[in-house]
Amino acid sequence: MRSRTSGLGLLLISPAMLLLAIFFFTPALLTGVFSFTNMSSSTGISGGAYVVTPNLLKALSARGMQPATIEALEEASYSVDADGLAAARAADVDPAFLDEIEARYAGRAYATDSDFLAALKDLPSRPRRIRDLKLAMEPFTKSVLNVRFATEELARTAIAERVAGISDDEMATLLSESYTGWVWTTENFGKLFAGHETWRIIANTIFYVATTLTLFNVTLGLFLAVTTFYLPKKLGAIFTVIWLLPRITPVVLYAIMWKWFTWDDGFVAVLAGELGLPSFNYMKGSVTSAWTIVIMVNGFIGASFGMILFSGALRSIPIQQLWASEVDGATRWQQVRYIILPQLRWPILFVTSYQTLSLLTSYQEIWLTTNGGPGSTTTVWALESFRTALFNYSGSLQYGLGAAMALLLVAVGLMLSIIYLRLFRFGELVTQPKIEF
């Protein structure tokens, strides 16, 4: 008989499910969905309007739109209606003149400048100067230029009114080009693979992950764990604490300390100067030094993590094995090589796999130190995606493109985490509840 669903269980799990759905599942979904849009800070997020601007017409004309259509759109028309009269009154046009206009021409429309001008010249109280006359005409202008149409239907009607007999093709082009909101597109992925920066950033990412992981997270982590294990207790504890600091220090403080350490007048520069070595901004001054610093900044945190994990694994090796090996006459190195390292195989694999994922997607430390510089030499994929979408100084944030970049990371992350779960057999931790009521 199947165990029945526990009402209490549903109640207890629902807050978790709700939060995870909103802030985990939905974002992942949205990353996928919006990577197929051109959403950016200029399109806005919640949709847009239809606006035909003179610039747009210029561009369309260059792309070969019928000159007649362009002209018709550019041309202003005039109509004498309540709105126009009110606007003219507000613009301090002579009231007597306006009264005459209203009496004679109310409800009429004029297709061109000259028609309206001719009509106005018939009126007795018209202004003498042509300039004043033009000023008086302006409030009656009806144009599609620079008008925000909230819906496609309104824009279509207005354009059709202006350009009689516009072709369907041209109407479609006008409508799509004049839309200011975001639209669906697959361009983002095209852009990604066409850009020469892309491959460079991918190469950077691979270099960064591989180097940091092997040198620091695994090798240094192991070295620290093994040495602190063998050192006298107090001495070992001191080094353990030193190496815990990078892990527990808030990231801003940690990153800016590195800046202090390697900046123009920073410790390293000054020390190098005193020793007669080249003294410059080591963090951004040269590509080699920038990479060294970036890898060290992240590597120290990684080594900290590795040390904690490996130390735990080391302590779980039965001490009798080590005693036995000493009785057998093994040197310390042989003990490490033949007894300890083989038993750390799984922790090493674990650190390697999980830290690959975490290095692949981390950008905070690089962002706060070199920020990918000098140039884009230390820019990695995650940082570039973050900056494209959410943080750059030019101010134009390209959410769609950034999402497309993040989507790749999400996909890789999802794949790797599923593989790791199988690899480390997390599934075995799922057991059936024993109380069946």
Partner 1 sequence: MQITLKNFTKSFDGNVVIDRMNLEIRDGEMLALLGPSGCGKSTTLLAISGIHRVNGGQILFGDRDVSNLPSQKRNVGVVFQNYALYPHMNAYENIAFPLQVRGQSKTEIEKAVGQIAALTHIEPYMSRRPGQLSGGQQQRVALARALVRRPDVLLLDEPLANLDAKLRLEMRSEIRRIQQETGITAILVTHDQVEAMSMSDRIAIMDQGEIMQISTPDDMYRNPVNRFIAGFMGNPPIVMVDGRVEGTAFETTSGFRLPLPGRLGGLKHGRPISIGIRPEHFGSTGAHTVAGTISFVEPQGRESHFDVRVGEGVVLRSIQPSRRDVAVGQPVEWPIDIESTLVFDEQGKTL
Partner 2 sequence: MTRNFSIWPVVLILLLISAPIVIMYSYLALGTVTTTEPGDLLPSKLALDNWRFLFDTSTAAGNIWIATLNTFVFAASIMVIVLTVSATGGYAMSRLNLPFRRFVLSGIMVMHAFPSVTLIIGVFLVLQFTGLYDTMIGVILVKASLMLPFGIWIMKGFYDAVPWEIEMAGVQDGASRFTVWRRLILPQVRAGLVALGLFAFLDGWGEYVLPRILAPTNDFRVLSIVLELVGNPDRTNYDFDLFKTVGVFYTLPVLVIFVFFQHRLMDIFGGGTKG
The residues of the shown chain that bind partner 1, judged by CB under 8 A, are 1, 3, 434-437
Residue 420 interacting with partner 2 (CB under 8 A): yes
* Contact residue for partner 2 among 155, 159, 296, 366 (CB under 8 A): 296
Tokens of 370: 């070199």
Residue 382 interacting with partner 2 (CB under 8 A): yes
31 binds, among partner 2, partner 1, none (CB under 5 to 8 A by kind): partner 2
Q: How far is the CB of 374 from partner 2 (least distance, A)?
A: 14
Helical spans, DSSP H, in 316-429: 319-327, 332-335, 341-343, 345-360, 364-368, 381-390, 399-423
Closer of 13 and 172 to partner 2 (Cβ):
13
How many C-alpha atoms does 414 have within 13 Å on its Cβ side? 11
Q: How far is the CB of 412 from partner 2 (least distance, A)?
A: 9
> Could you say which DSSP state residue 110 is in?
E
Q: How far is the CB of 418 from partner 1 (least distance, A)?
A: 25
Closer of 394 and 432 to partner 1 (Cβ):
432
For 82-111, give one letter per residue: b (16+ CB within 10 A) or e: eebbeebeeeebeeebbebbbeebeeeebe
Residue 169 interacting with partner 2 (CB under 8 A): no
Q: How far is the CB of 1 from partner 1 (least distance, A)?
A: 5
How many beta carbons lie within 10 A of that of residue 369, not counting itself? 25
338 binds, among partner 1, partner 2, none (CB under 5 to 8 A by kind): none
* Contact residue for partner 2 among 155, 166, 308, 366 (CB under 8 A): 308
Closer of 129 and 434 to partner 1 (Cβ):
434
Stretch that binds partner 2, among 13-21, 86-94, 128-136, 183-191 (CB under 8 A): 13-21
* Contact residue for partner 2 among 13, 68, 172, 341 (CB under 8 A): 13
Residue 209 interacting with partner 2 (CB under 8 A): no
d(CA 74, CA 236): 80
Angle at 253 between CA 306 and CA 206, to 5 degrees: 45
Stretch that binds partner 2, among 80-88, 111-119, 196-204, 266-274 (CB under 8 A): 266-274
234 binds, among partner 1, partner 2, none (CB under 5 to 8 A by kind): none
Closer of 164 and 435 to partner 1 (Cβ):
435
Residue 410 interacting with partner 2 (CB under 8 A): yes
Query: Which candidate, 308, 294, 401, places its Cα nearest to that of 351?
Result: 308
Contacts of 147 (CB under 8 A, 6+ apart): 51, 52, 158
How many beta carbons lie within 10 A of that of residue 303, not counting itself? 26
Closer of 92 and 436 to partner 1 (Cβ):
436
Closer of 167 and 417 to partner 2 (Cβ):
417
Contact 49, 150 (CB under 8 A): yes
Angle at 425 between CA 419 and CA 429, to 5 degrees: 130
Angle at 389 between CA 290 and CA 194, to 5 degrees: 75
* Contact residue for partner 2 among 172, 331, 337, 345 (CB under 8 A): 331
Closer of 9 and 375 to partner 2 (Cβ):
9
414 binds, among partner 1, partner 2, none (CB under 5 to 8 A by kind): partner 2
Residue 343 interacting with partner 2 (CB under 8 A): no
Q: How far is the CB of 437 from partner 1 (least distance, A)?
A: 4
Contact 389, 402 (CB under 8 A): yes
Q: How far is the CB of 430 from partner 2 (least distance, A)?
A: 5
Measured over the CA atoms of residue 177, residue 178, residue 184 and residue 189, the dihedral's sign is positive
Interface positions, 218-257, toward partner 2 (CB under 8 A): 220, 223-224, 227, 230-232, 235, 239, 242-253, 256-257
- Output phi, psi for 77, to 5 deg: -125, 170
Residue 191 interacting with partner 2 (CB under 8 A): no
How many C-alpha atoms does 265 have within 13 Å on its Cβ side? 0
How many beta carbons lie within 10 A of that of residue 287, not counting itself? 13
- What secondary structure does DSSP assign to 131-164, as a single string? HHHHHHHGGGEE-SBT--BSSHHHHHHHHHHHST
Closer of 207 and 261 to partner 2 (Cβ):
261
Closer of 131 and 434 to partner 1 (Cβ):
434
323 binds, among partner 1, partner 2, none (CB under 5 to 8 A by kind): partner 2
CA dihedral angle for residue 116, residue 119, residue 124, residue 125, rounded to 10 degrees: -10
